[in-house]
């Protein structure tokens, strides 16, 4: 029997994966959930939300792929303990995120929220133009997304910094690491970009204490996950003037209910979780590449450290 690969996520994308597997990995029996065939043959699963009782259902499962960028939707404690989990690292996600964050940072840097408000009042009111070198951008999270975003931002001449749990070195970026360097990082950041993974350690990270450490009038670009943000703290910081603007691509919950106060806040811009999208074509090819690596005994791209949760 051929090794079977089960896809359990958006069906439209699943059919695109099926075509690519048929053309480029005909040796693998690609199946769209719930048509899994003989469960004993299922060695690989790609899912946004895995089925419960995974080891009972697929006793020979060798790899679990997340169909999207994060793995925070997985309950690791409910997964077979030694099952390798692979997150999605593919160029479509990275390019989309670089576009979104560059747009948001330029929007804030060039005072576009103020110009949109001036247009509503029909006011022609030039503001002082500041050079990018005078604008301090700070990125929380230095994974593949954070690194790609910073690589683009430095080309504009922004004064760039990054913070992550472990030490990184990036060209043209002031890198900060660990809790001990968080305050210095925040104190020098005019535009804060959140690209942290969502784990128990980062849930609620964006709170009044973090906002209070930023320079007065700083702005937030949140492209992590909704639960990173303490929404009430954000609204209070905007209303006190501690923060001047917020760009949110993720909220808690999603979709954001129509009655939520974020929608109508003059200094909040909301987009419906569209900063970056997995492209079905490149995602399927990245997974096939990882299956080949697995067969050759090579290391997997995007392998999750289950103890850290990302």
Binding residues for a copy of itself, per CB under 8 A?
A: 92, 95-96, 98-100, 102-103, 106-107, 109-110, 112, 115-116, 118-119, 122-127, 129, 131-132, 152, 155-157, 254-256, 258, 260, 263-264, 269-274, 276-277, 279
Report the alpha-carbon distance of residue 46 to residue 67 in Å, rounded.
Answer: 6
Q: Which is nearer to a copy of itself, 16 or 199 (CB)?
A: 16
Complex with a copy of itself: residue 101 or 218, whichever CB lies closer: 101
Collapse the DSSP code of 93 into the 3-class scheme (helix H, G, I; strand E, B; otherwise coil) and give the result: helix
Query: Residue 2 CB, nearest distance to a copy of itself (Å)?
Result: 33
Query: Alpha-carbon distance 155 to 48, whole Å?
Result: 35
Which residue of the set 117, 188, 213, 273 is catalytic?
A: 273
Question: Is there a catalytic annotation at residue 293?
Answer: no
Catalytic residue (choose from 222, 225, 267, 269): 225
Eight-class DSSP state of 263: G
* Cβ-Cβ contacts under 8 Å for 84 (sequence gap 6 or more): 62, 63, 64, 300, 303, 304
Q: Minimum distance between the CB of residue 219 and a copy of itself, rounded to whole angstroms?
A: 15
Which one, 168 or 273, has the nearer CB to a copy of itself? 273
CB of 94 to a copy of itself, least distance (A): 11
Per DSSP, the residues of 122-189 read T-----PPPPGGG-EEEEE--SHHHHHHHHHHHHTT-EEEEEESS----TTEEEEETGGGHHHHHHT-
Active site residue 265: no
Please identify, using beta-carbon distances, which residue of 181 and 281 lies nearer to a copy of itself. 281
Integer Cα distance of 96 and 9 in angstroms: 20
Work out the widest C-alpha separation in the chain, in whole angstroms: 71
Closest distance of CB 256 from a copy of itself, Å: 6
Q: Which are the catalytic amino acids?
A: 225, 273
């Amino acid at each position: 029997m051929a090794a079977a690969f089960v896809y359990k996520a958006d069906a439209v994308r699943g059919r695109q994966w099926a075509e690519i597997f048929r053309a480029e990995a005909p040796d693998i029996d690609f199946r769209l959930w719930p048509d899994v065939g003989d469960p004993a043959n299922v060695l690989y699963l790609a899912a946004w939300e895995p089925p419960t009782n995974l080891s009972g259902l697929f006793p020979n499962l060798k790899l679990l792929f997340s169909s999207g960028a994060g793995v925070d939707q997985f309950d690791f404690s409910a997964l077979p303990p030694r099952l390798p989990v692979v997150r999605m690292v593919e160029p479509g996600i990275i390019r989309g995120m670089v576009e979104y964050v560059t747009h948001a940072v330029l929007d804030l840097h060039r005072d576009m929220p103020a110009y949109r408000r001036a247009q509503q009042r029909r006011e022609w009111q030039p503001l002082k133009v500041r050079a990018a070198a005078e604008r301090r951008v700070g990125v929380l999270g230095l994974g593949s997304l954070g690194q790609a975003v910073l690589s683009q931002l430095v080309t504009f001449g922004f004064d760039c910094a990054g913070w992550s749990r472990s030490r990184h070195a990036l060209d043209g970026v002031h890198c900060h690491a660990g809790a001990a360097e968080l305050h210095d990082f925040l104190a020098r950041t005019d535009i804060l970009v959140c690209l942290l993974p969502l784990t128990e350690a980062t849930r609620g990270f964006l709170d009044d204490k973090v906002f209070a450490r930023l320079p007065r009038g700083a702005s937030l670009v949140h492209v992590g996950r909704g639960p990173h943000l303490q929404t009430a703290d954000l609204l209070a910081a905007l209303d006190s003037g501690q923060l001047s603007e917020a760009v949110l691509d993720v909220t808690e919950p999603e979709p954001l209910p129509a009655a939520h106060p974020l929608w109508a806040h003059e200094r909040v811009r909301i987009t419906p979780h569209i900063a970056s999208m997995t492209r079905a074509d490149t995602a399927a090819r990245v997974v096939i590449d990882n299956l080949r690596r697995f067969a050759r005994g090579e290391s997997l791209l995007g392998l999750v450290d289950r103890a850290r949760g990302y």
